[in-house]
Structure 1
Amino acid sequence: MVKPWDTATIGDFLDFKNGLNKGKEFFGYGTPIVNYTDVYRKRGLTKSDVRGKVNLTRDEIHRFDARKNDVFFTRTSETPEEVGMSSVLLDDIDDCVFSGFVLRGRPKNDMFVPEYCKYCFTTEAIRSAIIMGCTYTTRALTNGTQLSAIEIVVPPKPEQEAIAKSLTEIDDLISSLEKLITKKKAIKQGAMQELLTGKRRLPGFSGEWETRTLHEISNEMVDGPFGSNLKTEHYTTERQVRIIQLSNIGEAGWNNANVKYTTFSHAAELQRCIVQPGSILIAKMMPAGRAIICPDNEKSYILGSDVVKVVPNSSVDSRYLVYATKSRFYLDQIADDTQGSTRARTSVSKLRKTAILFPEKDEQIAIADILSEMDMEIAALEGKIAKYRQIKQGMMQQLLTGKIRLV
């Protein structure tokens, strides 16, 4: 019979200490510092991950030192869900210290092996205990006393090592895919800046390019209704006419979050704002100028107040036009038109004057085909990462709770 795991409290393993607080003039040079973002983003920190610097006295370095195998927890954040995220320091870093926005947990025994510490504080039970136990005034906050009291299971060391090895292997796989996606995106970005400006021509094309404004290439270009013409009282829970919100215009295409509908009868009163699938949608803000093609997964659409509809004429390939809105040539114009605003916003009148570089339509289609293939390759890799992350989450819930034993 397999022996059940022992239990302990986090405080049986770690002694906690608050980090240092210094004025902003001390940061940017000096000794390495483990910052909030380091701990929040990665479960295990190496020397290359700790990039922050702070100027301190020798006494401060001694009092707030960070050593290999120390475990850090985010101490405070705007939401409870971001409090108590943990990360273990896996390398020795000379004169390293830690920020006041995190807590240092220093091991006082060898209860857990360091690699296992990347994962053991992330279980659903421990995360729930941290979230439930944190205080909240203007910000969510935890402390060493609260963390010390949380119960944790303690597998035998050989089992800890086996669990850490299994989870590290899938982490390494995810990391390699992330690096590959970053590389593919950089290649695509370079291709866009060359192909969308005519610096690089595709074989078989030699015609002149033209600079035309959005107004010149559009059969129709209108913005959404004033807010008073499309208010919450006009919404319906029935799936009638989908309202296109700013948040639906994602950087990589349609974002199906923030679902709102209005009635067919009210939409009929705002006929100019009706959108057909295949139209181009441009955001006025957050950030201004981003564009997508309206999908065909709803019966009917209507513009929200901060969205512009563009119906291109037959000389334009819609996919090419959307890609062109990601070019430096286009984005620089948007930035010039919105510069100086606290919430950078453009308008339909400004967008009408915004210029795009256009080759003949056959070349537009060929360019869009190449960039679309790159996007599909990136999307396939992102789908793989999502699958592996889901597998990892399932593994963690099984392995870190003892439901599956590696003995």
Structure 2
Amino acid sequence: MEKLLPQLRFPAFKGEWESKKLGDLLEFKNGINATKEQYGRGVKFINVLDILNNDFITHEKIIGSVDVDQSLADKFSVNYGDILFQRSSETREEVGTACVYLDKDISATFGGFVIRGKKIGEYEPVFLNKLLKTDLSRDAMTSKSGGSTRYNIGQEILNSIKLNLPYLPEQTKIATFLTAVDEKLTALKQKKSLLEQYKKGVMQQIFSQELRFKDDTSTSLSTGSGNDFADWEEKKLGEICEIAKSGGTPTSTNKEYYNGDIPFLSISDMTSQGKYLYFTSNHISALGLKNSSSWLVPTDSIIYSMYASVGFVAINKVPLATSQAVLNLIFKSEVNLEFMYYTLIDFQKNIAQFITTGTQGNLNAHSVKGFLIQIPSLPEQTKIANFLTAIDEKINHCQGQIEKATIWKKGLLQQLFV
């Protein structure tokens, strides 16, 4: 029989972990089923969204409330260390999702789509919360769930779930360590969010011309010692383009037109990659290009979505072809490409007036080429583009750190638990 030992362990701890059933640690109860008139006031009321949207729950994080008398609130109370489980879900992946309640000062109650596990055994709450979120624990839950249109998990199944735990001191050590890892991740996410908020605010000020650069070597806004740049000019988007042309789609029934060497862009390629486009999920052949209205858009053009994700902007870093859902813009020499990217991002707030009515609102090439754009001189365009690109680089660096830390944390969880 394989020993219950983790791959990664703090040096002070030895010996095997112990296998227990969840029912040895928790006593289960289904939640309150109230009428719709009772919701929106009263005591805090934990529902499925609180479980799904939080790593742990405190009183202030709870979204909803329910009006019940005190005796019922006491009967369905949630206290520090209790674990809440999602009882029912449309997807197997979410059923049985667990989240711990970590507020020592005030209790809450819980709803009918939630099962409360009241603490009856010895465990460290943060440790058990982390353990129940591991792939092993989640697989044990979801594999036992039943249902056809909805997946369900009940108290009997929860009672039977087997977990492997160390003694309490090791649980506490692991919980403290993983809490520190989570705090690091949270700090990185907050840093990224603050940078994104700063970028949004400064873009509004730049494109409203509330903030301006000076004609000098300074990279700061409105603080340089040089002269003011010239006034911005209003021009139609089409006037500053050498080419402004949508793509086309080769006949889908002709297999010879597809799976060639020419990257063929979809809207999902744009939304998944962001600012720069380096690849496409689909390709067409030279024959497909020739026998359609599609064309090969050169590197470093603006790719502008007119359908689906309307107003989404990107810059292609490889030559590619696009469908008619995209307007491809090649600018004149007096226009900075990166500046136009940010200009069109800022212009998104104005596009509602240009969208055609119908089951799905779209733009058309004529409307987009008619956008009235404020254009500064090329040197000021370049300063603005460099300034905003530097912020984006910081945001991307933060995102990279978040992704690395998330992968590292996942690896830790696989090795710290049995």
TM-score, with structure 2 as normaliser: 0.86
Offset from partner CA, 1:311-359 (integer Å, 9 cap, x none)? 22222211111111222xx223212333875543222232222222211
Q: Report how far residue 395 of structure 1 moved.
A: 1.0
2:49 to 25, 37, 40: 37
Q: What does residue range 51-130 of structure 1 map to in structure 2 within 5 Å?
A: 51-58=63-70, 60-92=72-104, 94=106, 96-110=108-122, 112-130=123-141
Are residues 1:379 and 2:396 paired?
Answer: yes
Contact 2:277–2:317 under 8 Å retained in 1: no
Contact 1:71–1:87 under 8 Å retained in 2: yes
Contact 2:229–2:380 under 8 Å retained in 1: no
Aligned to 2:196, the other structure's residue is in SS state: helix
Aligned to 2:368: 351
Aligned to 2:208, the other structure's residue is in SS state: coil
Distance in structure 2 (CA, Å) of the matches to 1:232 and 1:30: 63
Are residues 1:362 and 2:379 paired?
Answer: yes
Aligned to 1:3: 15
Are residues 1:278 and 2:300 paired?
Answer: yes
- Once structures 1 and 2 are overlaid, which stretch shifts more, 131-140 or 202-211? 131-140
Are residues 1:47 and 2:68 paired?
Answer: no
Distance 1:60 1:306, change over 3 A: farther
Offset from partner CA, 1:343-399 (integer Å, 9 cap, x none)? 432222322222222111211111010000001011111111111111111111111
Contact 1:18–1:102 under 8 Å retained in 2: yes
Q: What does residue range 290-309 of structure 1 map to in structure 2 within 5 Å?
A: 290-296=312-318, 300-309=319-328
Distance in structure 2 (CA, Å) of the matches to 1:18 and 1:340: 47
Contact 1:78–1:140 under 8 Å retained in 2: yes
Offset from partner CA, 1:47-104 (integer Å, 9 cap, x none)? 3322333344445534433222111122333322222222100004646222333322
Distance 1:237 1:14, change over 3 A: farther
Q: Report how far residue 19 of structure 1 moved.
A: 2.7
Contact 2:27–2:118 under 8 Å retained in 1: yes
Aligned to 2:270: 249
Which ranges in structure 1 are unaligned for 5 or more consecutive residues? 402-407
Aligned to 1:405: none
Distance 1:142 1:214, change over 3 A: farther
Contact 1:235–1:261 under 8 Å retained in 2: no
Aligned to 2:314, the other structure's residue is in SS state: strand
Aligned to 1:203: 214
Distance in structure 2 (CA, Å) of the matches to 1:359 and 1:23: 60
Aligned to 1:216, the other structure's residue is in SS state: helix
Distance in structure 1 (CA, Å) of the matches to 2:331 and 2:323: 20
TM-score, with structure 1 as normaliser: 0.88
Contact 1:5–1:154 under 8 Å retained in 2: yes
Distance 1:133 1:385, change over 3 A: same
- Once structures 1 and 2 are overlaid, which stretch shifts more, 83-92 or 374-383? 83-92
Larger Rg: 2
Distance in structure 2 (CA, Å) of the matches to 1:353 and 1:338: 13
Offset from partner CA, 1:202-258 (integer Å, 9 cap, x none)? 1224211122222222222222325x73468466445x1111111111383246787
Aligned to 1:80, the other structure's residue is in SS state: coil
Distance in structure 1 (CA, Å) of the matches to 2:402 and 2:233: 41
Q: Would you say how many aligned residue pairs link Structure 1 and Structure 2?
A: 393
Distance in structure 1 (CA, Å) of the matches to 2:394 and 2:190: 14
Aligned to 1:44, the other structure's residue is in SS state: coil
Are residues 1:316 and 2:335 paired?
Answer: yes
Q: Report how far residue 178 of structure 1 moved.
A: 1.0
Contact 1:312–1:318 under 8 Å retained in 2: yes
Q: What does residue range 131-146 of structure 1 map to in structure 2 within 5 Å?
A: 131-146=142-157
Offset from partner CA, 1:129-188 (integer Å, 9 cap, x none)? 222222242233333322322210021001100111111111011111111111111111
Offset from partner CA, 1:18-39 (integer Å, 9 cap, x none)? 3334465554443212232221
Distance 1:180 1:336, change over 3 A: same
Distance 1:71 1:95, change over 3 A: closer
Distance in structure 2 (CA, Å) of the matches to 1:46 and 1:138: 32
1:336 to 329, 353, 370: 353
Distance in structure 1 (CA, Å) of the matches to 2:121 and 2:358: 55
Contact 1:254–1:295 under 8 Å retained in 2: yes
Offset from partner CA, 1:101-139 (integer Å, 9 cap, x none)? 3322222222x1112122011222111122222224223
Distance 1:185 1:230, change over 3 A: same
Aligned to 1:87, the other structure's residue is in SS state: strand
Distance in structure 2 (CA, Å) of the matches to 1:243 and 1:60: 61
Aligned to 2:199: 188
Identity %: 25
Which ranges in structure 2 are unaligned for 5 or more consecutive residues? 1-12, 216-227
